[in-house]
Amino acid sequence: MSTSLSPEQEELRATVERFARNEVAPVIAKLYEQEEFPYDIVAAMGRMGLFGLPFPEEYGGMGGDYFAFCLALEELARVDSSVAITLEAGVSLGAMPIFRFGTEEQKREWLPRLCAGTMLGAFGLTEPGGGSDAGATRTTAHRDGDEWVLNGTKAFITNSGTEITGLVTATAVTGRDHEGRPRISSIIVPAGTPGLTVAKKYSKVGWSSSDTHELAFDDCRVPAANLLGEEGRGYAQFLRILDEGRVAVAAMSVGLAQGCVDESLRYMGEREAFGRRIGEYQALQFKLADMEARTHVARLAWRDAAARLTEGRPFKKEAAVAKLVASDAAMVNAREATQIFGGYGFMNDSPVGRFYRDAKILEIGEGTSEVQRMVIAQAMGLPRPH
Amino acid sequence: MRFMNVVVCVKQIPDPAAPARLDPSTWTLEREGKLILDESDSYGVEMGLQLADQAGGGEVTLVSMAPRNETSGLRTALAMGAARAILVSDPVLGGSDALGTAKVLAAAIRRAEPDLVVAATESTDGYTGTLPVQLAELLGFPSVTFVKKVTVGDGKVHVERQTEAGFDEVETPLPAVITVTAGVVEPRYPSFKGIMAAKGKPVDQLTVADLGLPEGSVGAAGARQEVVSVEPAESRKAGEIIVDEGDAHTRIVAYLEQLKVI
Ligand SMILES: Cc1cc2nc3c(=O)[nH]c(=O)nc-3n(C[C@H](O)[C@H](O)[C@H](O)COP(=O)(O)OP(=O)(O)OC[C@H]3O[C@@H](n4cnc5c(N)ncnc54)[C@H](O)[C@@H]3O)c2cc1C
Question: B194 Cβ partners below 8 Å, 6+ apart?
Answer: B79, B80, B81
pLDDT of residue B130 exceeding 90, the answer is: no
A329-357 pLDDT, tens digit per residue, is: 999 999 999 999 999 999 988 999 999 99
pLDDT of residue A3 exceeding 80, the answer is: no
Q: Is A366 a catalytic residue?
A: yes
Report which protein residue has its CA nearest ligand 1's atom 6. Answer: A157
pLDDT of residue A386 exceeding 80, the answer is: no
Write down the domain spans for chain A. Answer: 7-120, 122-232, 236-379
The larger pLDDT score, comparing residue A38 to residue B213, is at A38
Measured between alpha carbons, how far is A95 from A119 in angstroms, rounded to an integer?
A: 10
pLDDT of residue A95: 98
Q: Is A47 an interface residue toward B (CB < 8 Å)?
A: yes
- Closest chain A C-alpha to B196 CA, distance in angstroms: 7
Which chain B positions have a beta carbon within 8 Å of A14's beta carbon? 36, 76
pLDDT of residue B183: 87
Give the confidence band of A21 by pLDDT, cuts at 50, 70, 90: very high
pLDDT of residue A1: 60
Residue among A297, A281, A280 at smallest CA distance from A333? A297
Q: Name the residue facing B192 among A14, A19, A62 (closest C-beta).
A: A62
* Percentage of chain A modeled with pLDDT above 90: 93
Q: Is A58 an interface residue toward B (CB < 8 Å)?
A: no
- Closest chain B C-alpha to A125 CA, distance in angstroms: 31
Give ligand 1 pocket residues (Cβ under 6 A): A 89, 93, 122-126, 130-132, 156-158, 204, 207, 212, 361, 364-368, 370-371, 385
Measured between alpha carbons, how far is A280 from A297 in angstroms, rounded to an integer?
A: 25
* Catalytic-labelled residue, pool A36, A280, A366, A370: A366
Q: Name the residue facing B195 among A11, A18, A57 (closest C-beta).
A: A11
Which chain B positions have a beta carbon within 8 Å of A48's beta carbon? 188-191
Measured between alpha carbons, how far is A36 from A151 in angstroms, rounded to an integer?
A: 30
Which chain B positions have a beta carbon within 8 Å of A46's beta carbon? none
Give the confidence band of A167 by pLDDT, cuts at 50, 70, 90: very high
- What is the average per-residue pLDDT within A30-56? 97
**Across the interface, do B195 and A12 touch by the CB < 8 Å criterion?**
yes
Q: Name the residue facing A8 among B36, B189, B195 (closest C-beta).
A: B195
Measured between alpha carbons, how far is B9 from B15 in angstroms, rounded to an integer?
A: 18
**Across the interface, do B198 and A47 touch by the CB < 8 Å criterion?**
no
pLDDT of residue A234: 87
With 0-12 / 13-18 / 19 or more C-beta atoms within 10 angstroms meaning exposed / middle / buried, residue B84 is middle
pLDDT of residue B74: 95
Nearest CA in chain B to A14: B76
Phi-psi region of B58 (alpha: psi -120 to 50; beta: other; left: phi over 0): left
pTM reported for the whole predicted model: 0.91
Measured between alpha carbons, how far is B58 from B82 in angstroms, rounded to an integer?
A: 10
Measured between alpha carbons, how far is B52 from B4 in angstroms, rounded to an integer?
A: 6
Residue among A22, A82, A76 at smallest CA distance from A53? A76
**Across the interface, do B75 and A14 touch by the CB < 8 Å criterion?**
no
Give the confidence band of A374 by pLDDT, cuts at 50, 70, 90: very high
Dihedral angle sign, alpha carbons of residues A27, A36, A119, A129: positive
B168-190 pLDDT, tens digit per residue, is: 999 999 999 999 988 889 999 99
Strands (E), chain A: 120-124, 140-144, 147-158, 165-176, 182-190, 196-198, 212-223, 227-228, 272-273, 276-277
pLDDT of residue A140: 97
- Kindly list the structural domains of chain B, giving each domain's residue range(s) and its CATH number in brackets, ordered by start: 4-237 (3.40.50.620)
pLDDT mean across residues, chain A: 96
Measured between alpha carbons, how far is A361 from A358 in angstroms, rounded to an integer?
A: 6
Q: Is A250 an interface residue toward B (CB < 8 Å)?
A: no
pLDDT of residue B1 exceeding 80, the answer is: no
Give the confidence band of B125 by pLDDT, cuts at 50, 70, 90: confident
pLDDT of residue B2: 65
- Closest chain B C-alpha to A14 CA, distance in angstroms: 10
User: For an interface test with A, which of B75, B192, B196, B203 has the most A Cβ atoms less than 10 Å from its Cβ?
Assistant: B192
Domains A7-120 and A122-232 fall in the same CATH topology: no
Give the confidence band of A324 by pLDDT, cuts at 50, 70, 90: very high
ipTM score here? 0.87
The larger pLDDT score, comparing residue B215 to residue B53, is at B53
What are residue A198's DSSP bridge partners?
A215
Q: Is A68 an interface residue toward B (CB < 8 Å)?
A: yes
Of A16-25, A195-204, B229-238, the poorest mean pLDDT is in B229-238
**Across the interface, do B190 and A11 touch by the CB < 8 Å criterion?**
yes
Cα of A242 to ligand 1 centre, how many Å? 12
CATH class of the region A236-379: mainly alpha
Nearest CA in chain A to B75: A11
- What is the average per-residue pLDDT within B121-132? 83
Which chain B positions have a beta carbon within 8 Å of A19's beta carbon? 189
Give the confidence band of B127 by pLDDT, cuts at 50, 70, 90: confident
Nearest CA in chain A to B39: A18
pLDDT mean across residues, chain B: 90
Give the confidence band of B29 by pLDDT, cuts at 50, 70, 90: confident
The CATH-assigned architecture of domain A122-232 is Beta Barrel (2.40)
Residue among B197, B186, B198, B22 at smallest CA distance from A40? B186
Which chain B positions have a beta carbon within 8 Å of A68's beta carbon? 192
- What is the average per-residue pLDDT within B85-110? 92
For domain A7-120, say whether CATH 3.90.600.10 is its number: no
